[in-house]
Amino acid sequence: MALRVYNTLTGSKEEFAPLEPGKVKMYVCGVTVYDHCHIGHARANVVFDMIYRYLRHSGYEVTYVRNYTDIDDKIINRANQEGVPYNVISERYIAEFDRDMAALALDLPTHQPKATEHIAEIIEIIQRLIDKGYAYDVEGDVYFSVEAFNPYLKLSKRNLEEMQAGARIEVGEKKRHPMDFALWKGSKPGEPYWESPWGKGRPGWHIECSAMSMKFLGETFDIHGGGKDLVFPHHENEIAQSEAANGKPFVRYWLHNGFVNINAEKMSKSLGNFFTIKEVLEKYDAEVLRFFLLSAHYRSPIDFSDQNLKESEAGLERIYKALAGIDDALAAGAGAGRTDEELAEKVGTLDERFREAMDDDFNTAQALGYVFDLVRAVNRVLAEGGCDGALLAQARDAIRQVGRVLGIITSEADAFVERLQGRKAAELPVAVEEIERMIEERNAARKAKDYGKSDEIRDRLLALNIVLLDSPQGTSWKVK
RNA sequence: GGCGGCGUCGCCAAGUGGUAAGGCAAAGGUCUGCAAAACCUUUAUUCACCGGUUCAAAUCCGGUCGCCGCCUCCA
């Protein structure tokens, strides 16, 4: 079955066929580097990382470009607040972004261009737009004339009259039409600037993406992605600039991810209801966060909450425990020579079902459901005494393979469980030595069959969120 | 106001015409001194509501209600 993707431009799922067979050219709007990234940024980047990985897994050679917007009003504001040059701000938050993305196990894009390194290309396109009559300069600013570009608003499916009726648009005196947008902004005193045919200034927000995508991917390329909130105006304006300048279709498939919500409301800077990636990673394992973000379809909204993160943690732990169980069974050689029809069937079809789910517009939620199907079969077989090692090893490899493509389940099973426990143990109000002393005391009581005392100790530990696990090998403990 | 999306078990979440995946939680069982953990099993005749089309609808159409997003910087 061929890959089908939902294209915002057509509003429907379409069979994916790249311009050049076997090769995919993909551009995703990165961040404006003026502050820490929040979970919404994490989602967008994880989603397109997953798409990047799956395309490669499907045999495509992918050129993936993700930019940094490193010059912008917000960066300048921030720099002014702190009394530092703008690039101190942008460089700081580029480093932060890189750290966050690395923590979330993102693969590096093929290119990560910066707007400020492409000023010459930007100026060239603006000049071309002016020459072709799509743009005009006024007192050091250059604007794109939306009325000159007929297909304007084809992506967001609106029309100019409606947009104006919205009344929230301020009519800049310099603009010929209230919807016209800036390609070049003349600089005010004290602001960073670059020389241009229209005077000292800096690029507008949208033009950088047209310039950089053209440079690295050509005038027409396959996939352009970003959050839903970029559909208008950012992507709409990119289309206008690029198609007007080149006279060719810009992008073949537009992909947009849904928002991260807090209590069913969009997480955003302006609402102030956001969590930074850094904050969340202090509390949850990065792999858990990634698993959470992939547990819903990328176009659906996903609700960020403590409970949901905990559920993801439990779910991921379930997968790891099955893998640990396989390792143990393989080491022990239990059940050699036995087979299991259901397990064999699930193992044999996981890859096929995974592809089927992913080929349907990257349905990671469905794909994870199939992984859990196999996990359940594995657990059942292990509980029944195991089966032939080769089949168990295949089950493990099948699960790991899916994990590799999604960028999860990449740790050693034991290491993951220990990581989670270490994280929780660090928050305990008691020292580990004290816990172990109490456990010894309890075991002494149990040996003496003084169960009243042993249960009392257990309850005391439970009150501290510590759960005891008795086994023939002795008593271990974990944080609830 | 315009445009778009959503409403599936207590919670999360797949499913776009063929008779409801999966996870969490819960209950029962195995195990255990008792527990916990682990594992197994069970848990929506029903998909916001009302009509319609169809042999067949959560899925298509019309209407109602509720929620959300975009229209302004935003992943």
Enclosing domain of residue A353:
306-416
- Average the pLDDT over each of A9-13, A288-292, A351-355 and give the range with the smallest value: A9-13
Mean pLDDT score, A244-266 = 93
Are residues A55 and A79 located together in one domain of the fold? yes
Say if A294 falls within a structural domain: no
A14 is near strand B: CB distance < 7 Å:
no
CA distance A179 to A301: 29
Residue A379's nearest nucleotide, by CA–C1', is B39
What is the model's pLDDT at position A305?
92
Q: Is A350:A371 a contact under the CB 8 Å cutoff?
A: yes
* Dihedral class, residue A218 (left if φ above 0, else alpha if ψ from -120 to 50, else beta): left
Name the token pair of A214. 């053209």
Are residues A207 and A272 located together in one domain of the fold? yes
Quick count: other Cβ atoms within 10 Å of Cβ A378? 28
pLDDT at A229 over 50: yes
Express each pLDDT in A435-480 by its tens digit. Answer: 889 999 999 999 899 999 999 999 888 888 888 888 877 888 888 7
Express each pLDDT in A112-130 by its tens digit. Answer: 999 999 999 999 999 999 9
Distance A260 CA to B64 C1' (A): 29
Write down which residues 90-109 in A have CB closer than 7 A to strand B.
none
Chain-centroid distance of CA A440 in Å reads 46
* A141-144 and A135-138 beta bridge pairing: antiparallel
Are residues A110 and A201 located together in one domain of the fold? yes
What is the model's pLDDT at position A44?
96
Say if A290 falls within a structural domain: no
Q: Is A118:A212 a contact under the CB 8 Å cutoff?
A: yes
End residue of a domain, out of A416, A450, A468: A416
End residue of a domain, out of A217, A246, A280: A280
Residues in chain A: 480
Express each pLDDT in A67-84 by its tens digit. Answer: 999 999 999 999 999 999
CA distance A387 to A85: 65
ipTM of the complex: 0.93
Mean residue pLDDT of chain A comes to 91
Say if A296 falls within a structural domain: no
Express each pLDDT in A423-434 by its tens digit. Answer: 888 878 888 888
A59 is near strand B: CB distance < 7 Å:
no
Are residues A178 and A110 located together in one domain of the fold? yes
A44 is near strand B: CB distance < 7 Å:
yes
Say if A299 falls within a structural domain: no
Quick count: other Cβ atoms within 10 Å of Cβ A450? 13
Are residues A228 and A272 located together in one domain of the fold? yes
Are residues A272 and A333 located together in one domain of the fold? no
Band (pLDDT 50/70/90 cuts) for residue A172 is low
- What percent of chain A is predicted at pLDDT more than 90? 73
Are residues A141 and A226 located together in one domain of the fold? yes
A233 is near strand B: CB distance < 7 Å:
yes
Say if A203 falls within a structural domain: yes
What is the model's pLDDT at position A1?
57
Q: Specify the amino acid at residue A86.
A: Y
Q: Is A285:A293 a contact under the CB 8 Å cutoff?
A: no
Say if A422 falls within a structural domain: no
Contacts 24+ apart (CB under 8 A), A442-445: A442/A468, A442/A475, A443/A474, A443/A475
pLDDT at A88 over 70: yes
Express each pLDDT in A306-336 by its tens digit. Answer: 999 999 999 999 999 999 999 888 888 877 7
Q: Which residues fall within 8 angstroms of residue A441, CB to CB, at 6 or more apart?
A: A457
